[in-house]
A and B are shown apart, each in its own frame.
Chain A
Amino acid sequence: MKQFWKQMSRNPSGLIGLIILVIAVFLAVAGPMVFPNSPWRMVQRPFLPPFTLSSVPLGTDALGRDVFAGMIYGARVSLLVGLVSTLAALAIGVPLGAIAGYFGGRIDDALMRFTEFFQTIPSFALAIVLVAILQPSIYSIVASIAIVSWPPVARLVRGEVLSLRSREYVQAAIVTGQTSRWIIWHEILPNALSPVIVLASLMVATAILLESSLSFLGLGDPNLISWGYMVGAGRTVIRQAWWITVFPGLAILISVLGLNLVGEGLNDALNPRLARDGR
């Protein structure tokens, strides 16, 4: 673990990503305490440009709502959706991939055809359809993002398990009479973890983008403000009031960039050989 942090800190871009992420999480957690007012409340005249009033630093939108407060509350939704849907996708993809890779043969064939079935449908289209059918709410959004994003996890885990299961220490566990479940859980998965962690960090970023896209199309949770919704709401007046779309857009850009940088940093830190060769 100590070595992991050492590797991570030696990687400046990963560190920048981590700092961005920490700030975003801090704002999401602590922000609503600083801004107890609901982001839906009208606080000033509509279309107030940014940097004119210190009480509304980023201006107001078409209905006079505070853009900055919206961004703070939006961070909560975006980060939460990203995290929870990724965890849900891992919960589907990891066991499926592990079972397919470990048992092979017919089980592998069946599970992989099932996975491919999901992969052949364009993920964004499927997400739209799912949210539309299930009615837009935070739960249906998380569920649909998880459903469209687990196949890559299953494939990755399957590949890792496939190569790990022929290792001698796995065979040693078989000959000592361990059950398959024990072997997958104790011998194989811990060794397959690093690429999954890297993939997961990038999936959080993709999930945030997906949620933003859904909200932009008006399929977000109507009771929760999110960055994607703000961009969508401001797009009609972008020529008169650029700030309504640009600031939440920047928030999406920066947090996704931060997550990508962290993912790359993790990749280097968890694969020390690759990192050293790159130097």
Chain B
Amino acid sequence: MPSDPAVRIKDLRIALPPGGERAYAVDGISFDLAPGEIVCVVGESGSGKSMCAHALMGLLPDSVTTETGEIALEGCNLLALDADRWRDLRGRRIAMVFQEPMTALNPLMRIGEQMMEMFEAHGLLSPRERRQKALGLAREVGLPDPARIVRAYPHQLSGGQRQRAMIAMALALEPAVLVADEPTTALDVTTQAQILKLIRDLQRSRNMAVMFITHDFGVVADIADRVVVLRHGQIVEQGSAQAVLIRPQHAYTKALLAAVPSMTPPPRSPLIDRNKAVDVIGIDKTYVTSGGWFRPDRTVQAASEVSFAILKGETLGLVGESGSGKSSVARLVMRLIEADRGTIRIGEVDLTQLEGKALRDQRRRIQMIFQDPFASLNPRRKVGQIISDGPIAHGTDPKLARQRARDLLGMVGLDGGAMERYPHEFSGGQRQRIGIARALALDPEILVADEAVSALDVSVQAQVLNLLEDLKTRLGLSMLFITHDLRVAAQICDRIAVMQRGVIVELKTTATLFAAPEHPYTRELLAAVPGQHRPVSLSA
């Protein structure tokens, strides 16, 4: 695009406080944002991509210092501005959309008032005009029933609606530049698709320059005009989306793209003549929140008549959006929460009938891998203890248990020295490996993986998936794999169950489900997976 850039970032270098992992959060990066262009800044966690966005908004934390560089917006250097000039500029010329719309909106203010605040802060318009504007903005970002919704509080809106409201606020003063920091990461895939389309449409109609921060190459493929790939605070590659995605030059970009799981399920030999490892028959679970004296109780149906079986050596995927009840099902199967009705069989044993010691003894047969590698390890216990605690509780000799823990660490690709260290000394991917080792320490027959790779970067995700697949075949495990990411499910599952509002709406072999989805919700989910219009994965 030949027009003058809206923003020109030149040789920006931001120093981290001394004693950190590296000296610079952002190390000498330069790129332009042209009007009417969406630039995606892509990178894994810790690559400095959010720091770029915050520098552009003048929101850098006090602990970092800008050493050199220039951010030119319409010819003036933003880094030299004082607080008053910044205040004038923000909202009017540059606006930002944050990742988590629930925390970015004030929970005590009505949506409309928060939009009107934008005008008030800059002393524009009369209160009546502001109200009109807020209504118009709500309409423009596609909020349903605008007259009602401007009077609503943030908690009364869905996640997607909140993000629309955030976008409306950002667009209120018609800024020339929009900074979007992972705006769809906290949203479900179907909502994500809608928000991406909205940003795209608004950017077209207003000829804005958009800086879009993301870690998801699917999203990049859907929305980017140009791509900037960051790694350790440095640009490894930049260019048009077409060039970077189809013909990546740098090895790192190639590796990242190759790590994106493909939407095409790999061929899998069908599993026949096998016994059931787990049999779940008609479980129900309803959460009841007491409404107090004068209001009726709130009930949420987390699982309704959920039935499925997992064969020996099979991986069953459970996919669905947030709130569909898939995590509840995992916890029901583990008996971390009690089902209202229904039976869960592990082999011949009815798990729902057991209590106390008998239940604790059976628990070793089914083990769980948790979502958040930072929350799932006790920060005050050493890794060796974390892994060997379980076997010791089941009566294994402590010395043997520790020896076994050492072997398991080797099996998941960590060295034995990890035994004496605490969890905070490890990276996210390494912690997830420790979590897997802990689950394997009890020689289970079944693994339940609840979003086990969702919190990991894409390259680490690929490694952990490979590890899981490999361990599963080697040890002959069955697996219940819960995920919201259909790409991941396509790669690892033999069969997939789709959940919506506590009900399994479709359960088929992976290949059939992807080739011929029957239920409308399954079709909707499949269509919303980002990055299908342009091929993103090199391996596909």
Enumerate chain A interface residues (CB-CB to B < 8 A).
167-169, 171-179, 182, 186-187, 190-191
Contacts and interface: CB of A to CB of B under 8 A. Distances in A.
A176 B438 contact: yes
Contacts of B370: 168, 171-172
Given A175-B363, A177-B363, A187-B378, A182 B393 contact: yes
B374 to A, nearest CB: 9
B393 A175 contact: no
A171 B377 contact: no
Contacts of B375: 167-169
Given A173-B389, A176-B390, A177-B393, A191 B364 contact: no
Nearest to B356: A179
A191 B378 contact: yes
Contacts of B372: 168
Nearest to B376: A168
A178 B394 CA distance: 8
B114 interface: no
A175 B330 CA distance: 12
The 10 closest A-B pairs by CB, nearest first: A176-B390, A168-B376, A177-B360, A177-B363, A168-B370, A169-B378, A190-B380, A168-B375, A175-B368, A178-B393
Contacts of A174: 336, 363
B381 A177 contact: no
Given A175-B363, A190-B380, A191-B380, 8 more contacts: A168-B371, A172-B370, A172-B376, A172-B438, A174-B363, A178-B389, A182-B393, A186-B389
Contacts of A179: 360, 393
A74 B380 CA distance: 40
A168 B390 CA distance: 15
B538 interface: no
Interface of B: 331, 334, 336, 360-361, 363-364, 366-368, 370-372, 375-381, 389-390, 393-394, 435, 438, 441-442
Contacts of A173: 378, 389
B436 to A, nearest CB: 12
B378 A177 contact: no
Contacts of A176: 363-364, 367, 389-390, 393, 438, 441-442
Contacts of B366: 175
Contacts of B331: 171
A177 B390 contact: yes
A1 to B, nearest CB: 12
A178 B360 CA distance: 7
Contacts of B364: 176-177
B65 to A, nearest CB: 16
B369 to A, nearest CB: 9
Contacts of B361: 177
A172 B442 CA distance: 12
Given A168-B370, A168-B371, A175 B376 contact: no
B422 to A, nearest CB: 12
Nearest to B441: A176
A118 B99 CA distance: 46
A174 B363 CA distance: 9
Nearest to B370: A168
B396 to A, nearest CB: 12
A177 B378 CA distance: 16
Contacts of B393: 176-179, 182
B128 to A, nearest CB: 41
A251 B390 CA distance: 52
Nearest to A182: B393
A176 B378 CA distance: 14
